[in-house]
Amino acid sequence: MKKGRYGIYGGQYIPETLMNAIIELEAAYNHYKKDESFIREFNSLLAEYAGRPSRLYYAKNMTENLKGAKIYLKREDLNHTGSHKINNVLGQVLLAKKMGKTRVIAETGAGQHGVATATAAALLGLECEIFMGKEDTERQALNVYRMRLLGAKVHAVTSGTQTLKDAVNETFREWSTRIDDTHYVLGSVMGPHPFPEIVRDFQSVIGREVKEQMLEAEGRLPDVILACVGGGSNAMGIFYEFIGHPEVRLIGCEAAGLGVDTDKTAATMATGRVGIFHGMKSYFCQDEYGQIAPVYSISAGLDYPGVGPEHSYLKDIKRAEYVPVTDKEAVEAFEYLSRIEGIIPAVESAHAVAYAMKLAPTMDKDKIMVINLSGRGDKDVAAIARYKGEDIYE
Amino acid sequence: MNRIERAFSNGKAFIPFITAGDPTIEVTEKLVYKLADAGVDLIELGIPFSDPVAEGSVIQAADVRALSSGTTTDKIFDMVKRIRMTCDVPIAFMTYVNPVFSYGADRFMRNCKEAGVDAIIIPDLPYEERDEIRPYCNKHGITYISMIAPTSKERIGNIVSDAEGFIYCVSSLGVTGVRQNIGLDSLEMVRSVKSVKNIPCAIGFGISTPEQARAMAEISDGVIVGSAIVRIIERHGNECIEPVIDYVKSMLAASKDKS
């Protein structure tokens, strides 16, 4: 396969101003990913600071209640900062520091990636600025304060739909004004090469741990793995180790919003077509003229009109399946997991839980399912309460 | 001599940018006639895109206005066809890769040819990815314009060897928009280009005053002005033609000024 390509997907579609920055990043990454001391430092941060390995928890109550496959939860919600985002961020901020950068910038949707980036920047002593859609700063006001508390400057992005896509636009714009001392910590397996590869590699620790933990617990690999997909970093992180094991079904759950037959949806695989945007060729929600569609999901983290290029490739070669999950189903799953296991999932992760609730009962009891619980739901409590008609504000 | 070559055959070229459909297709069409009458050498016509990542806030807002007035790629092709019945000012489209890719690059360039568009500029299609679109430009005889930036450095050799028409030199880091200080790197960029190949260089990004236009014209073959014009359109809406032309005349005179 061509460098930076996944089948026809991927590539480097960015303005000339940024090309040398991307080339410099690629060279640095190719060097440090083989550098013993970098690897040691990264692994030590994952263990000592992020709290890895995260637990693979047997969800006994859920399993008994659904009367089907045996369900395990990969507890990325227990990581420091409350989601899988910390894995990638520690890697990238460490890489930025090795490259001599003194400042990091990042986009954020739900705020998890922004909080994680601000955290890593605080730890490693880099300046940090976060770009967040204005609508998201309102949906996730507490995370905005968290980032500030961690020493980051937060910019509310008022262009376009004022959500994740616009935050990415603005971070690219900011990067093109200041490249020498600044690294863009992209938060998902998307954007121009080498970002999809870097983020996947840093997140692939999730799948490697699952494999080891599953072999220990059950002596075999799981039958199915579920993860939510916006850009797709937690899904790529848990899928990657299993791509070469075709007996393991990989299912990505995307945000259908009010439904894939409405225009209030963010289900890129179900409703999009191939396009080129944000530096990559992949599937995008767009109109007949290639204008990027305004998308919608209750989940700020999945409210994105595209998907990482490797996911598009996995879909085309039918190695992974992608299914839409509505707001309503996700909120039901949010409440269900809270009550049945005492675990409040991020509303993003609740999309994967929702599909598990449909799939598990159709599977035999000797089958094994793993759900990537990519984040914790504390940040979503007020929004879900409002969705349910309760007048609660943060 | 094709129309792009002609644009650089009348002293220093002055190249205004406007977003097609801002505020409406009708106003854009009138603006094109008036700009041609005023004597501009080439018109850069933006096809609006929902997410123009190389643009600053002024042109972003123009894209929003154009899209909300119902502008589509097909309506812009139709407009150029009408313009070509009476006016042969050189026209380059400026748009992003997705509107071209999504339309079908072959069909897009064929329509450019049929409508009478001379060239295309795609800021998010760097040298490494040019094969996505460029073969279709060649097939239909549309000039593919390459861009270089102050960060391009050792990349200039490859980009320029391969270039045709003219080189779009991005004056400074960042996105489009009016700037106080420009051009620190421009002279160096133009020299690097000319050391590879004798191809016209036009400088854009940030130019808004006659002084800047004069200074940039002095060190290059042409001056591109976008945001400063679009700001006048934003302020005056449907009544923008007269103030735009007044402004363009002053910039045109400064660019052509040989003193």
Q: Mean pLDDT by 10-residue block, N- to C-terminus, for chain A (394 residues)? A: 91 97 98 98 98 98 98 98 97 98 94 96 98 89 93 95 92 95 98 98 98 98 98 98 98 98 96 98 98 94 95 98 98 98 98 98 98 95 92 73
- How many CB pairs lie under 8 A apart between chains A and B? 113
Cβ pair A16:B50 closer than 8 A:
no
Number of Cβ atoms within 10 Å of the Cβ of A184: 26
ipTM of the complex: 0.96
Taking residue A64's Cβ as centre, other Cβ atoms within 10 Å add up to 11
- On whether the CB atoms of residues B155 and B41 are closer than 8 A, the answer is no
Q: How many CB atoms lie within 10 A of CB A10?
A: 29
CA triple B64-B68-B72, angle to 5 deg: 95
Distance of alpha carbon B225 from alpha carbon B205, whole angstroms = 7
Supply the CATH number for residue B74's domain: 3.20.20.70
Is B186 within 8 Å of B174 (Cβ atoms)? no
Closest Cα to residue A50, out of A5, A97, A88? Answer: A88
Q: Which residues of A touch B100 (CB under 8 A)?
A: 290
What pLDDT digit, counting tens, does each position of A78-111 carry? 999 999 999 999 999 999 999 999 999 999 987 8
pLDDT the model gives residue B259: 41
Amino acid A207: pLDDT: 98
**Residues of chain B contacting A279 with CB distance shorter than 8 Å:** 124
In a domain, B184, yes or no: no
> Is the residue at B41 inside a domain?
yes
Structural domain includes residue B204:
no
Quote the pLDDT of residue A208.
Answer: 98
Number of domains in chain B: 1
What pLDDT score does B172 carry? 87
Q: Supply the DSSP symbol for B154.
A: G
In a domain, B85, yes or no: yes
Alpha carbons B56 and B93: distance in angstroms, whole number:
18
CA distance A301 to A230: 7
Tell me if chain B has a CB within 8 Å of the CB of A148: no
Of B97, B102, B147, the CB nearest to A13: B97
Tokens of A366: 């000797």
Residues of A noted as catalytic: 85, 107, 374
Measure in Å the smallest separation between the Cα of B201 and chain A Cα atoms: 16
Residue B132 to chain A, least CA–CA distance (Å): 10
Of all residues in chain B, the one with the smallest CA distance to A12 is B129
Q: Choose from A166, A173, A304 for mutation: most chain B CBs within 10 A.
A: A173
In a domain, B233, yes or no: yes
8 Å CB contact between A284 and A270: no
Neighbours of B26 (CB within 10 A): 12
Number of C-beta neighbours around residue A314 at 10 A:
25
Has residue B121 been placed in a domain? yes
Secondary-structure breakdown of chain B: helix, strand, coil percentages, each rounded to the nearest 5: 50, 15, 35
Report yes or no: A289 at the B interface, CB cutoff 8 Å. Answer: yes
Helix-strand-coil percent breakdown of chain A, rounded to 5?
45, 20, 30
Domain containing residue B79: 3-144+212-253
**Chain B residues whose beta carbon lies within 8 Å of the beta carbon of residue A291:** 49-50, 67, 99
Enter the pTM of the model. 0.96
B156 Cβ partners below 8 Å, 6+ apart?
B148, B189, B192, B193, B196
Yes or no, beta carbons of A177 and B173 under 8 Å apart: yes
* Cis status, amide bond into A194, omega within 30 of 0: yes
Three-class SS of residue A23? helix
**E strand intervals along A76-205:** 103-108, 127-133, 153-157, 182-184
User: Is residue B189 one of the residues assigned to a domain?
Assistant: no
The Cα-based distances of A357 to A36, A354, A362, B44 in angstroms read: 43, 5, 9, 55
Contact A51, A79 (CB under 8 A): yes
Q: Sheet harboring A9-13: ordered strands across?
A: A5-6, A9-13, A279-284, A273-277
Q: Which two tokens stand for residue A254?
A: 């995307």
Query: Is the residue at B191 inside a domain?
Result: no
Contact A242, A209 (CB under 8 A): no
Q: Closest-CA residue in chain A for B155?
A: A20
> Strand B143-148 and strand B167-170: pairing?
parallel
The ranges of chain B with pLDDT < 70 are 183-184, 258-259
| CB contact at 8 A, A279 and A270 | no
| Residue B123, both tokens | 């800021």
